[in-house]
Amino acid sequence: MIINTTILGWVTFIYFGSAIFYIFRMVTGREFWGPFASIIAFTGLIAQTVGLILRWFESYKMGIGHAPLSNLYESLIFFSWTIVLLYLIIEWRIKSRNLGAFVIPFAFLSMAYASFSPNVNSRIQPLIPALQSNWLISHVITCFFGYAAFTIACGLGFMYLLKGLGKDEDTRPFFRFLPGREIVDELIYHSIVIGFIFLTLGIITGSVWAYSAWGSYWSWDPKETWSLVTWFIYAAMLHSRFVRGWRGKRMAIMSLIGFASVLFTYFGVNYLPGLHSYF
């Protein structure tokens, strides 16, 4: 247990270093920092994967035996892992590191909160009866990949709005490294589509899980309700793009609003009584 938490604690600093290098690249306008940022982020992802696997093995040694996805600490770690994994895939696909300065800091903050907040318990704990289900892994994975995609959309939204502060021909290093607004707009759209698909799958698997655990597909629990609110926000965004042609600044602002709903769905409902208060 000490080994896995130590590794995951060090991953926090690795992601911090990666975020700093991505930001240096943007501020100085020197590509020199880019490869270092990517290599460090990839190293952190590998180390984090090892830490999660060790934690999984440790739970079996303790006689508990469950995937490391069951409490706030583990969910924060996994959230960070999905953000970095999805980001690195996008970086590899589009052959650009511009987004790193806007996304990797989210992964660092998630790890920092998990590792250093006194309100987060890092001990491996037995599953409560409601969580003892084969649906646990599928539900959590789909939800958090959706959250990760929405995080990237949020980062892209910030990028789009910052791009609007400078002129198209602005030659200052920071603005020069920002891609064109049309490209950012398309990336926001694709990120939201990916997140929407995963969130939909997460709600479906959660409903099936709820039926097997409590005998009801839907109980209007605060987390269920806010998951539906978040789903409607992103559904409205996609509908507005297809039907009303929303693009650019509107989509960028909505990506920030949608992410605020994601954060409340994830953290805010913990302060409300409900079936999901164990997170």
The one-digit pLDDT tens for each residue of the chain (279 residues) are 578 889 999 999 999 999 999 999 988 888 889 999 999 999 999 999 999 999 999 988 888 878 888 888 999 999 999 999 999 999 999 998 999 999 999 999 999 999 998 888 888 888 777 677 778 889 999 999 999 999 999 999 999 998 876 555 555 666 677 888 889 999 999 999 999 999 999 999 988 887 876 777 777 778 888 899 999 999 999 999 988 888 889 999 999 999 999 999 988 776 655 555 544
Q: Which of 97, 114, 123, 188 is nearest to 151 (CA)?
A: 188
pLDDT for the residue numbered 168: 53
Q: Which of 197, 186, 21 is nearest to 90 (CA)?
A: 186
Residue 117 tokens, joined: 């907040």
Q: CB burial class (10 A; 0-12, 13-18, 19+) of residue 128?
A: exposed
pLDDT for the residue numbered 278: 46
Q: Roughly what angle, to the nearest 10 degrees, separates helices 2-28 and 100-116?
A: 150
Round to whole Å and give the CA distance between 205 and 211.
Answer: 10
Cβ atoms within 10 Å, residue 197: 14
R_g (Cα) of the chain, nearest Å: 19
Q: Are 150 and 27 in contact (CB under 8 A)?
A: no
- Mapped onto helix, strand or coil, the DSSP state of residue 100 is helix
